[in-house]
Structure 1
């Protein structure tokens, strides 16, 4: 593996940030998510991550949990690519040593309030730490337990978990510091070649169902399982208190992990042993303890993958160095880095619930994004949800949400499309089309098409993704003003996508217009329609962008681009005076999950121009199928509807649709994990998290990113119960602003900007 570490920032630099980071009251409830023993039965795991690697949370705080690494994929033959679970690195198991019923390890004891007393677990969003406290009762022996875990934002290869125990007895206890090497997932199914019917048969044959299981198993867990990482070599040193391993994702990239353990000062274990099996790599220690004395143990972890860091030997050196510097130094640097991120914030005065959920959504987005790289963000973060693939969600949902708030993280998403342009060009050639045809589901590492075979129609027909990508490239240029970047990175993507549309559009000579046939609508239940309105409007915008970009970089645009854009059919009902969802030849009569895609015409990145009267008619027409649907509402559609209402100046409608997006139905306790729908349990759904933030950044403010700058395209609106909404420290073309919406003395909503 490449042993260079261009992203590894020394801890000392992050410590310097603490001198400039703003002071913060740790008790601010909008940043604190708390679990109690009442949550044991309904515990939906949260996530700790730094964009490069992650872990899930668990109630005890000491468990070995599933963990993932950015774009580390399993490429099992006849399957689609999927995130390979890396060895779990969090586990520190504990045993009091004896019990009347035999020997127990705490992580195997059933959760019960009588056993885990005075229980409290806090996910601190501002510090990005998980802290757990309880009194553990093992028959006649009791131990006060405190655990803190984090994945470093300051030094991305590092993480740590610290356990403190205070026994109420004298004796010998046991501790096990482990790296959990997961068994290969079974059953594996050849989902790369099964039809929808065959897939359902295979699921049934394995005695599984496509149904969610409470509290946190999604309805598609039967085929959204994690991929495999195989341990190639492993080592442990009981004297040095270290563990390390080299591994490889199935048919994929190499990775490595290491751990270095620190013990309390002057404490000497009675004995220490290195343990290795097919499923576990561990240091097992027997420790003498005295009643009432607190003993603190820390596990420093380093992780890397091919093209990001080194091998096990390099990681072991990192973990040892972290151990030498100490937990407090690593934690302080991590907190300072997160506090610097939170200088950019979305602040609500007058709605504590909305504020907390906005902070939760932003936390999960920041935890799963990287700055100045070329990796995308999966629709469900670093989890197996939607197999970790990059959809249009990355370009049209997450990218705009980050663009003003954290532009360096937004840049990584458009750079992914630049990096994987050759794969998109190859895909177009295979179909006899010019330019680049980006996948519907792109592998986050190599950009290849990874749509499951049973859903392959989406890969061929939901082609609006190509316009979405071009629009995002242009939006980044508008927000950065970087002409060099445009020429070197954005323009090649925009140009090749424009070429694709010249080959994909069809000229209707009889009606003297261009049409796009055989597409899947944004409302995917309509999977073979002519002239999907959102697709056609987006394609026309992408073509106009190509013409504009050519002029800036000194290239000659293809004259067909502007001609196709000008004569592109945008389906419209002359009788009723509003746009249609797609060609008038297709009945709009399904009880579909989307109801209507017309609100997407007002989505900030597209912002299709029309009069306010037409906008109102479109909105009124769309509401009926949206509100009348009997399908489980998809949280992806709530933000566009709120934004569409806001463009009309309808503060009541915008507020109501926003309110639906922060209800408990799609926000799972205790850590505000957002799901795709109220019942499908597809969690960590960053698409909808980003949609909610766009609702704030562009919807309520009425702001749009255009060549003239961040313009007030629509009058701002503010929910009636809110006193103000402030976008704190947003950045545009290198200048930082605070943007506030509040009301003047007469009660009129107003927007003000203050440059830093």
Structure 2
């Protein structure tokens, strides 16, 4: 059986759409595909490369490369071509978009496969297979290449450097014209081409560096692609014929060329695709979420995982000669960007650490470390940002791109970037989440500790002492609710800052010294220890109404944009939150949250309702978190509801939704020194079982299976001794592959020899201040 034409029967692995002629390219919600190095939207006009930006300061955006791999076919002929009828499908299991065409009267079949290769990850691949069914004679199909040049408003390509060269199967030979051609198959169209592919190469550089004050230069990029003929032919003597067209892009011409050569030299029809799909199969074998009995919800879950995880490199490219540097996780992913504000210009926000990281961290520790490294490698810029504001340590920008400087659009600098400083605390929160799930002291010493301690230094210098109470205020901030700027003592900001200070002290205890550049690091705070400062930060509380005002002077009927104070319950899991205050926070803010707010708000409301045992309201909010935000046959996430303009491929929303599934209905909760699984239950709908396979914790893989009558847990790939305490029972050593019945009880999993044994994990509470007094 040909893998190229292999149909996957499970409805949860594919999303399909029927069409006539070229209608597949007109679907408004086509999938965005990526492989960690590059990304694009199917039939879109642009390709984006990891870490490649153009424009200065607030005009910096992910650089657009015209997509020369945007290929479509028709039946050709004049004056009117015969109609092609077919179906397109997004195969999430194989990370490939397929288009199946049928000729008139079912006379022939054409299958097109489109994918960013996971092994040769500089490559976008189009494969075509034409199969004779009934037709006689030659079959000719016109092929349209939307652009024959990667020209871009962001990149200056050197017109004299565009070339075509000949590369034989075993060696290169330059042509007299200076053009490039790579060894070929029988599918090319001349005697010379019987032995070679014709390959075009264009190199250029971005127009403007991001930081005009530095010595950074514009970034180079090279694009290569093999020649696309005007038509594809199945000769009368042939039953099937295959074609492949590959585009590669990289800042290194040699790496882009190497991937192109290796991919083109694979002569087997299926092998090139198989090397890609095997990597996706390996991922799904390690991690998956299955919902038996509810294929519609399962498909949405799988699509959400796919669109999120595909921004990371699943495979290891054997041709790489230097370590991969992750270029950030933007709200619409690697495959979107440019100067379109709806796509957030490819910038990284707090979305990474609060909405996407908690999922990524439980799925694959390697990817979580890549996301943290993105911040770590931009510490110099963050130090300078803090220094220019008069603070110590590191202050991260609201929007970050290539260099780590603030790249918020000029129109939003004073209203948003100046005040949304909670992002620096959000990054520390991601650090603690990763340490909690790995207990990796080597990582902590080299990455986590330097970053955590300089973030703590920032917050220590950011506090304002109230001389009357001896407590600390945090002034001139904006919480996640972007409707209110320049406020004092935003509840979310104060708690996330307090956590950062507590965590800074914990890292000092866990490792005697960080691997830190002492010449660049800010001096430590002179006022007590960080935990003492954290404990004296104010958390506003209205005792009369038993809830937490969002900020100083907040009125309870004031409309807000999105979840803010309710985040104290989850994901922050603030230990000083009483059940009644949490319930009131949720009830009060739910009543004043804009219905047009982002999907994540409703996902987090669902989790909080579940914690309070309010299953009916949780179900309502869970449904609200995705039903109106997941669009089209390919389950593409939108930032906004129907009829509104906003971001597409909004993986921030996917991250919030997946947290509702894993941490809400799955009941999986990460704490610094242990993992809890509690109150697991089935999500609303028709599912008869929920299986979360491959959760990573302390190097092991956990599988949680929830049915209508039971909850079971098994653990594989144990790297160190771990204990499990089920309900009121005593902790016992976990036995690999043993199935534990945790139905209706709390299960606590810990390392048998925890790194926290000699370091006190504190309650991490602030000082509650009654606003009624």
Structure 1 length normalisation: TM-score?
Answer: 0.78
- Structure 1 residues 170-319: aligned runs within 5 Å: 170=138, 175=143, 180-181=148-149, 183-185=151-153, 227-228=154-155, 230=157, 233-236=161-164, 237=180, 239=193, 240-241=196-197, 242-251=199-208, 252-260=218-226, 284=230, 289-290=235-236, 293-305=239-251, 310-311=252-253, 313-319=254-260
Is 1:493 the counterpart of 2:451? The answer is yes
Q: What CA distance in whole angstroms lies between the structure 1 residues aligned with 2:647 and 2:290?
A: 28
Is 1:35 the counterpart of 2:17? The answer is yes
Q: 1:93 to 1:359 in 2, by over 3 A?
A: closer
Is 1:666 the counterpart of 2:634? The answer is no
Is 1:619 the counterpart of 2:565? The answer is no
Instruction: Find 1:703's aligned residue among 668, 681, 690.
Output: 668
Is 1:409 the counterpart of 2:367? The answer is yes
Q: 1:25 to 1:540 in 2, by over 3 A?
A: farther
Q: In the alignment, which residue of structure 2 is the partner of 1:116?
A: 84
Is 1:451 the counterpart of 2:408? The answer is yes
**C-alpha contact 2:74 2:84 (8 A) present in aligned 1:** no
- Structure 1 residues 136-147: aligned runs within 5 Å: 144-147=109-112
Q: What CA distance in whole angstroms lies between the structure 2 residues aligned with 1:342 and 1:256?
A: 32
Q: In the alignment, which residue of structure 1 is the partner of 2:491?
A: 533
Offset at residue 136 of structure 1 (A): 5.5
Q: In the alignment, which residue of structure 1 is the partner of 2:355?
A: 397
Q: In the alignment, which residue of structure 2 is the partner of 1:128?
A: 95
Is 1:632 the counterpart of 2:596? The answer is yes
Q: What CA distance in whole angstroms lies between the structure 2 residues aligned with 1:28 and 1:469?
A: 39
Q: State the SS of the aligned residue for 1:461.
A: coil
Q: What CA distance in whole angstroms lies between the structure 2 residues aligned with 1:399 and 1:571?
A: 28
- Structure 1 residues 400-549: aligned runs within 5 Å: 400-443=358-401, 445-456=402-413, 457-549=415-507
Q: In the alignment, which residue of structure 2 is the partner of 1:378?
A: 330
Q: In the alignment, which residue of structure 1 is the partner of 2:295?
A: 352
Q: What CA distance in whole angstroms lies between the structure 2 residues aligned with 1:464 and 1:334?
A: 39
Q: What CA distance in whole angstroms lies between the structure 1 residues aligned with 2:458 and 2:536?
A: 17
Q: State the SS of the aligned residue for 2:613.
A: coil
Q: In the alignment, which residue of structure 1 is the partner of 2:51?
A: 71
Q: 1:287 to 1:719 in 2, by over 3 A?
A: closer
Q: What CA distance in whole angstroms lies between the structure 1 residues aligned with 2:393 and 2:622?
A: 39
Q: In the alignment, which residue of structure 2 is the partner of 1:601?
A: 568
Q: What CA distance in whole angstroms lies between the structure 2 residues aligned with 1:429 and 1:406?
A: 35
Offset at residue 429 of structure 1 (A): 1.0
Q: What CA distance in whole angstroms lies between the structure 2 residues aligned with 1:373 and 1:314?
A: 15
Q: 1:82 to 1:250 in 2, by over 3 A?
A: same
Instruction: Find 1:550's aligned residue among 508, 511, 525.
Output: 508
1:421-442 C-alpha deviation (Å, 9 max, x unpaired): 1110011111111111100001
Q: What CA distance in whole angstroms lies between the structure 2 residues aligned with 1:404 and 1:580?
A: 32
Q: Which moved more, 1:30-39 or 1:474-483?
A: 30-39
Q: What CA distance in whole angstroms lies between the structure 2 residues aligned with 1:750 and 1:334?
A: 42
Q: State the SS of the aligned residue for 1:55.
A: strand
Q: State the SS of the aligned residue for 2:114.
A: strand
Offset at residue 255 of structure 1 (A): 1.6
Q: In the alignment, which residue of structure 1 is the partner of 2:555?
A: 587
**C-alpha contact 1:177 1:299 (8 A) present in aligned 2:** no
Offset at residue 287 of structure 1 (A): 5.5
Offset at residue 534 of structure 1 (A): 0.4
Q: Which moved more, 1:168-177 or 1:569-578?
A: 168-177
**C-alpha contact 1:380 1:687 (8 A) present in aligned 2:** yes
Q: State the SS of the aligned residue for 1:519.
A: coil
**C-alpha contact 2:72 2:145 (8 A) present in aligned 1:** yes
Q: State the SS of the aligned residue for 1:67.
A: strand
Q: What CA distance in whole angstroms lies between the structure 1 residues aligned with 2:358 and 2:710?
A: 33
1:55-78 C-alpha deviation (Å, 9 max, x unpaired): 2113xxxxx732111121112x57
Instruction: Find 2:265's aligned residue among 324, 345, 353.
Output: 324
1:250-297 C-alpha deviation (Å, 9 max, x unpaired): 233112222346xxxxxxxxxxxxxxxxxxxx6556868439854321
Instruction: Find 1:44's aligned residue among 13, 22, 29.
Output: 29
Offset at residue 44 of structure 1 (A): 1.2
Q: State the SS of the aligned residue for 1:68.
A: strand
Offset at residue 573 of structure 1 (A): 0.3
1:418-461 C-alpha deviation (Å, 9 max, x unpaired): 11111100111111111111000011x22111101111131110
Offset at residue 503 of structure 1 (A): 1.6
Instruction: Find 1:742's aligned residue among 703, 707, 714.
Output: 707
Offset at residue 674 of structure 1 (A): 0.3
1:600-657 C-alpha deviation (Å, 9 max, x unpaired): 112224545422232222222222213xx4x423212111111111221222222221
Q: 1:141 to 1:338 in 2, by over 3 A?
A: closer
Q: State the SS of the aligned residue for 1:428.
A: helix
Q: What CA distance in whole angstroms lies between the structure 2 residues aligned with 1:753 and 1:25?
A: 42
Is 1:656 the counterpart of 2:624? The answer is no
Is 1:564 the counterpart of 2:506? The answer is no
**C-alpha contact 2:372 2:431 (8 A) present in aligned 1:** yes
**C-alpha contact 1:442 1:449 (8 A) present in aligned 2:** yes
Q: What CA distance in whole angstroms lies between the structure 2 residues aligned with 1:554 and 1:715?
A: 39
1:69-110 C-alpha deviation (Å, 9 max, x unpaired): 1121112x5752111122314244557664137xx8xxxxxx
Q: What CA distance in whole angstroms lies between the structure 1 residues aligned with 2:35 and 2:108?
A: 32
Q: In the alignment, which residue of structure 1 is the partner of 2:717?
A: none
Q: 1:90 to 1:718 in 2, by over 3 A?
A: same
Q: Which moved more, 1:559-568 or 1:36-45?
A: 36-45
Q: Which moved more, 1:337-346 or 1:678-687?
A: 678-687
Q: What CA distance in whole angstroms lies between the structure 2 residues aligned with 1:289 and 1:328?
A: 21
Q: State the SS of the aligned residue for 1:424.
A: helix
Q: In the alignment, which residue of structure 1 is the partner of 2:39?
A: 54
Q: In the alignment, which residue of structure 2 is the partner of 1:6?
A: none
1:506-564 C-alpha deviation (Å, 9 max, x unpaired): 11111221111111121110112111110001111111111111111115985341122
Q: What CA distance in whole angstroms lies between the structure 2 residues aligned with 1:578 and 1:647?
A: 17
Q: State the SS of the aligned residue for 1:302.
A: strand
Gaps of 5+ in 2: 165-179, 182-192, 209-217, 315-323, 338-342, 515-523, 712-741, 751-773
Q: In the alignment, which residue of structure 2 is the partner of 1:85?
A: 64
Offset at residue 735 of structure 1 (A): 1.2
Structure 2 length normalisation: TM-score?
Answer: 0.77
Q: What CA distance in whole angstroms lies between the structure 2 residues aligned with 1:736 and 1:608?
A: 28
Instruction: Find 1:151's aligned residue among 108, 116, 123.
Output: 116
**C-alpha contact 1:83 1:388 (8 A) present in aligned 2:** yes
Offset at residue 676 of structure 1 (A): 0.6
1:122-154 C-alpha deviation (Å, 9 max, x unpaired): 1100001111112367xx998643211121123
Q: What is the number of residues matched between the two proteins?
A: 639
